[in-house]
Amino acid sequence: MKAFIGIDIGSLATKIVLINEGKLVDHRTERSTYNFKKVGHNLFDDILVKNNLKRSEVYVMSTGYGRNTIDIADDRITEITAHAKGAQYFFPDAHSVIDIGGQDSKAILISKKTGNVVDFQMNDKCAAGTGRFLEVMAHALEVPINEFGDLALGSRKPASISSTCTVFAESEVISLFARGASKEDIAAGIHKSISRRVAGMAKRIGVAPKLIFCGGVAKNNAVKKYLVAELGFEIVSPEYPQLTGAIGAALIAQENNN
């Protein structure tokens, strides 16, 4: 086998990576859309062509929400195992992982001895504690999602959002707005709220340094700041936080084939 491909089909984005001799060679990210199979196929064809590879020369491991439905995969692995492996690619001494994706979030505990997963927690189908929560709130405040974190960092006195439910939090935000709270303070309150929820879930399995924060939301510095405050220790994010699962899948494919 010349190379290994990991494809992470998330509910919002599909990520594909090419690994050769344990090193990240190429990667792509695209919105999953309703036709995530087609998106996956296009990304796969593209990465093969650009890297001069034939189908028979690669081994494909799928992960993520659509892992069972994508037919190009030779094997599949859950995003929990994939994220644990991917986090160790960036930080070999990783002990815990928090991944906040579009539709779910998870906390993973990694054995220092074996590098394997020893425990994990996932949030349930509720949107609170996921990227979706931030999207809904950014929309309510009429702020583009990629500016939302920076807006929150400008706050001096974060508003208090007590609801953890997206629906209730949205009406709380509207009433805070009506009472004259600034956008920055409300945004900070929202970021604190999601961080509190995710940190609470992570603490239940006893996360500890070195903790790797990954997933699309890891690019949001306000969530990172409040997560640190809630957890009480520093956390780190990889260079490509949203690729962690796909990289992990490709590395597991490589391990299984050696």
Partner 1 sequence: MEDLELLSDFSSFLKEKKEEGKKIIGFISHDNIPEELFDAGGFIPLRLMFGGNDDLMTASHDFLPPSTCAFAQSCIGLFSLKPRSYKFLEFIDYFLVSNHCVSDICASEIISKYFNIPRLNFYISYTKTNNSLTYLKLELQDLKQNLESIMGSKIENEDLLNSIKKYNNFKKKLLEFNKLYVKGSEKLKIIQKALLFGPDFHPTLENIIQKYKENSNDFENTSKDVILTGCSIFINDYIIDLIEEGGANIVFYDTWIGNSYFSQIISDDLIEAEKDPLNLFVHRFNKNIYGDHSVPNFLENKIAQILDMYHQYKQKTGKKLAVINHIIKFCDHISIMSSFFKNKLQDQGIPVLNLERDYSKANKGQLSTRIEAFLEMI
Q: Which residues bind partner 1 (CB under 8 A)?
A: 65, 68, 77-81, 104, 116-120, 122, 124-125, 204
Pairwise CA distance, residues 16 & 249, whole Å: 10
Closer CB to partner 1, 81 or 155, in the complex: 81
Pairing status of strand 3-9 against strand 13-20: antiparallel
Closer CB to partner 1, 124 or 142, in the complex: 124
Nearest CA among 96, 92, 91, 82 for reference residue 252: 82
Q: How far is the CB of 156 from partner 1 (least distance, A)?
A: 37
Q: How far is the CB of 49 from partner 1 (least distance, A)?
A: 31
Q: How far is the CB of 65 from partner 1 (least distance, A)?
A: 6
Closer CB to partner 1, 160 or 256, in the complex: 256
For 182, counting Cβ atoms within 10 Å of its Cβ (0-12 exposed, 13-18 middle, 19+ buried), the class is middle
Q: How far is the CB of 167 from partner 1 (least distance, A)?
A: 12
Closer CB to partner 1, 192 or 197, in the complex: 197
Closer CB to partner 1, 32 or 155, in the complex: 32
Q: How far is the CB of 143 from partner 1 (least distance, A)?
A: 28
* Residue indicated by tokens 């062509």: 49
Q: How far is the CB of 56 from partner 1 (least distance, A)?
A: 27
Closer CB to partner 1, 58 or 77, in the complex: 77
